Structure 1
Amino acid sequence: MRPVRRPEVRLPELRAYDGGELEPEGDYDGLEFTEVDFAGQSARGARFMDCALRRCALDEAVLSRGRLIDCVLSGVRGVGTDLSQASLRDVEVVDARLGGIQLHGAVLERVVVRGGKIDFANLRKARLRDVAFEGCVLVEADFGGAQLERVSFEDCTLTRVDFSAARMTDVDLRGAVGLDVARGIDSLGGAVISAAQLMDLAPAFAAQVGVRVE
C-alpha cells in the first residue's frame, strides 16, 4: 500500500472577511470567514486560496466548479451544499456537519476530512487522490463510479456506503471501525481490508458470487 500524501496547509496571516454576499467567479485570497451565514448564496466557479472558513453555515450554498486551494474548513455546517465538479487541493475539513453535500464529478487531491459527520454525500464519478478520512462518520456516502487512489479510512464509521462501479487503487479500509457496504462489494478490488472485516463482509461476498450459506 502506498501511503496517502497528506496536505501541508500553512495559512499566512489572514484578513477578516468584510461581509457581503459571495459572488460567482469571485476571487478570495488570504481571507478568514468566521461564523458567516452563506446559506443560499452562489459562488459558482469562485476561487478560494489560503482561506479559512470557521463555523460557517453553507445550507444550499452553490460552490459548483469552484476551486479551494490551501484552505481550512473548520466546524462548517449545512444541508444541500453544492460542490459538484469543484476542485479541492491541499484542504483540511475538520469537524464538519454536512448533509446531502453534492461532490459529484469533483476532484479531491491531498484532502483530510477529520472528525464530524457527513450524511448522504454524493461523490459519484468524483476523483479522489491522496484523501484521508479520520475519525468521521459517513452515512450513505455514494462513491458510485468514482476513482479512488491512495485513500484511507482511519477510525471512521461507514454506514450503507455505495461503491458501485468505483475504481480503487491503494485504498486502505482496515482502519474503519464500522464498514457497512450497501452496494458495490464487487468493486473492492484494489482495496485492502482486515481479516475481521472480511468475516463481516463474507455474506455479501458470497451473495455476489451466488453462493448460498445455510
Structure 2
Amino acid sequence: MPTPTARRRQKEPAAPKVPASLTPARLPEHDLENDGSYRAMLFKSLDLSSRRVRTPEFEGCSLVDTAFAGTEMHRAEFTDVELGRCDLSNMRVRSASVHRAVVSAGRLTGAAWSECAFHDVVFDACRADLTGFRFSAFRTVVFRECTLTEANFQDADLRGARFERCDLTGAQFSNAKMEGTRFADCTLAGIAGVTSLRGAVIRSQDAWGLVHSLAGAMGITIEDAS
C-alpha cells in the first residue's frame, strides 16, 4: 500500500474548468468593485492596477496580459481561472481562496498573498521573487520553473506543495509545516528557517545547497580546505 507521502507525489492539481465561450470584459463596465462577480469572462490586455476591493469573485475566467499591479483584495475568490502573462506585482491579497487555477508566465514580484488557501493550483514559469505567502495553506499545488528568490513562506502550510526546477535562493520557511513537501531540481542556497524542512522530500543533488544553512542552524562552522 502506498504511503501518504507517495500518494501526494503522484497527485496532480485538477485543471481549471474554463468555458469555451467567454464574454470579453471591458472598462469601465467590468472594472473591479466590492462584491463584484465575474463569471465566464475574458480579461485581455486590461489595466486593473491600483484598485482596492473586497470580496470579488472570479469564476470560469481567463485573464491574459492583464495588470493588477499594486491592487489590494480582501477575501477574493478565484475558481476555475487561468492567468497568463499577468502583472500581479506588489498586489496585496488577504484571506483569498484560489481553487483550480493556473498562473503561467506571471510577474508576482513583491506581492503578498497572506492567509490564503490554494487548492489545485499550478504556478508555471512565474517570476515571484520577494513574494510573500505567509500563513497561507497549499493543497495539491505545484510551483514549476519559478523564480522564488527571497520568497516568504513563513508559517505557511506547505504539506501539499511541490517545487520543480525553482530558484528558492534566500527563501524564508520559518515555522512552516513541510511534512511531505517535495523539491526536485531546485536551488535551495541560503534559505532561512531550514529546520522547518523536517519531513520534506528533497532530491540528493538539491541537498548540497542546504549544507551551509543546516550547518548555521546547528552552530557548525565549515572551513575551506587549506
Q: TM-score, normalised by structure 2?
A: 0.89
Once the two structures are overlaid, the 10-residue window that deviates more, 39-48 or 103-112, is: 39-48
SS of the residue corresponding to residue 63 of structure 1 reads strand
Runs of 5+ consecutive residues of structure 2 not aligned to the other structure? none
SS of the residue corresponding to residue 71 of structure 1 reads strand
Report how many aligned residue pairs link the two structures.
213
Q: What residue number does 2:199 align with?
A: 190
C-alpha distance in 2, partners of 1:200/1:155?
A: 14
Superposed structure 1 runs of 4+ greater than 6 Å apart: none
Q: What residue number does 1:5 align with?
A: 12
Q: What residue number does 1:127 align with?
A: 137
Question: Contact 2:185 / 2:206 at 8 angstroms: preserved in 1?
Answer: no
**Deviation string, structure 1 residues 117-171 (Cα, Å, up to 9, x no partner):** 1121111111111110111111211000111122111121112100001011311
- What's the CA shift for 1:207? 2.0
Q: Which amino acid aligns with 1:47?
A: E
Question: Contact 1:162 / 1:181 at 8 angstroms: preserved in 2?
Answer: no
- What's the CA shift for 1:74? 0.5
Q: What residue number does 1:40 align with?
A: 50
C-alpha distance in 1, partners of 2:91/2:146?
A: 18
Identity between Structure 1 and Structure 2 (%): 27
Q: Structure 1 residues 44 and 147, CA, compared in 2 at 3 Å: closer, same or farther?
A: same
Question: Contact 2:179 / 2:197 at 8 angstroms: preserved in 1?
Answer: no
2:30 is the alignment partner of 1:18: no
SS of the residue corresponding to residue 189 of structure 2 reads strand
Question: Contact 1:163 / 1:181 at 8 angstroms: preserved in 2?
Answer: no
- What's the CA shift for 1:79? 2.7
Question: Contact 1:60 / 1:81 at 8 angstroms: preserved in 2?
Answer: yes
Q: What residue number does 1:74 align with?
A: 84
Q: Structure 1 residues 159 and 213, CA, compared in 2 at 3 Å: closer, same or farther?
A: closer
Q: What residue number does 1:179 align with?
A: 188
C-alpha distance in 2, partners of 1:30/1:204?
A: 46
Runs of 5+ consecutive residues of structure 1 not aligned to the other structure? none
SS of the residue corresponding to residue 138 of structure 1 reads coil
Question: Contact 2:189 / 2:213 at 8 angstroms: preserved in 1?
Answer: no
SS of the residue corresponding to residue 74 of structure 2 reads coil
Once the two structures are overlaid, the 10-residue window that deviates more, 37-46 or 104-113, is: 37-46
**Deviation string, structure 1 residues 76-105 (Cα, Å, up to 9, x no partner):** 014311222111000100000122111011
Higher strand share: 1
- What's the CA shift for 1:200? 2.5
Q: What residue number does 2:120 align with?
A: 110
SS of the residue corresponding to residue 135 of structure 2 reads coil
Q: What residue number does 2:61 align with?
A: 51
SS of the residue corresponding to residue 167 of structure 1 reads coil
- What's the CA shift for 1:54? 0.5
Q: Which amino acid aligns with 1:65?
A: R
Kindly report which structure 2 residues correspond to 1:164-175, keeping only aligned pairs within 5 A, or say none: 164-175=174-185
